[in-house]
Amino acid sequence: MKTWKETSPLAKRIIIYLGILLLMVVSVAVWLHEPQQAVEQETAVVETQDLVPPRDVILYFALAQETLLYPEIRQIDGCDNDIACVEGLVGALAEGPEAVGGLVRVMPEGVRLNGVNIEDELVTLDFNARLVNGHPGGSMSELLTVYALVDSIAANFPHLRQLQLLFDGQPRDTLKGHIDVSQPVKADFSWTRNPEEAELEMPVKGGEDG
């Protein structure tokens, strides 16, 4: 067998070219394989998310002419982390009640949640200015809005007990002149009826005869 020194220049060039060609083929194969792996991983994540089932949540709404909040059981999209779950819950709360019987909105139509941040037991919700501009105001109305939010969150996620409100990224002293929202608000279920009490006390929709 000839040594490398004994190999002719032409044979050496052929060997070198073949080595370069082999390296290029391997590089292209690796390059083509990596995007496929990324697609497969992304598909796996999407499929996993699709498997998260919807979840039932308790939402608190106001009752016309009442000074307490009443619960409504709703379903939100499946979620696998606190931020996503809180986003879904607040979105459902902003849509207003589905049940008949006198429940009314606690936030004006057009409210949009800009973002959610969670640190320990504190949830920070950043809303657009519509929550202020479209709110009817008044101490009781503002109070029910604030506690509908914090109590709905705490009822479904007991480890989240405080709420800080921001409006387009900025704090405010009050919601609309009455209720202090400059500092975190703690959940307080003295403003709510539990589901058993609510079932007994909810008024029957007028115009429906037995």
Taking residues 101-129, report their average pLDDT.
96
Query: Global pTM?
Result: 0.71
Compute the average pLDDT of residues 20-27: 76
CA atoms within 13 A on the CB side of 61: 25
What would the mean pLDDT of 62-79 be, rounded to a whole number?
Answer: 92
Mean pLDDT of the 90-117 span: 93
| Higher-pLDDT residue of 203, 168 | 168
At 111 the pLDDT is: 97
Burial of residue 97 (CB within 10 Å: 0-12, 13-18, 19+) is buried
In the predicted structure, residue 10 carries a pLDDT above the cut 60: yes
Q: How far apart are the first and last CA of the chain?
A: 105
> Cβ neighbours of residue 131 under 8 Å, at least 6 residues apart?
107, 108, 111, 145, 167, 175
Instruction: Determine the Cα–Cα distance for residues 3 and 14; give it in Å rounded to an integer.
Output: 15
Comparison of pLDDT for 194 and 136, the residue scoring more: 136
Cα Rg of the chain (Å, integer): 30
- Model pLDDT, residue 7: 62
DSSP string, 57-93: EEEEEEETT-SSEEEEEEEE---SSHHHHHHHHHHHH
> In whole angstroms, what is the distance from residue 56 CA to residue 132 CA?
29
Q: What local confidence, expressed as pLDDT, does residue 184 receive? A: 98
Element (H, E) at 163: strand 162-167
Q: Which residues on adjacent β-strands are paired with residue 174?
A: 180
Tens of pLDDT, residue by residue over 134-144, are 999 999 999 99
Q: Kindly state the percentage of the chain with pLDDT values over 70.
A: 76
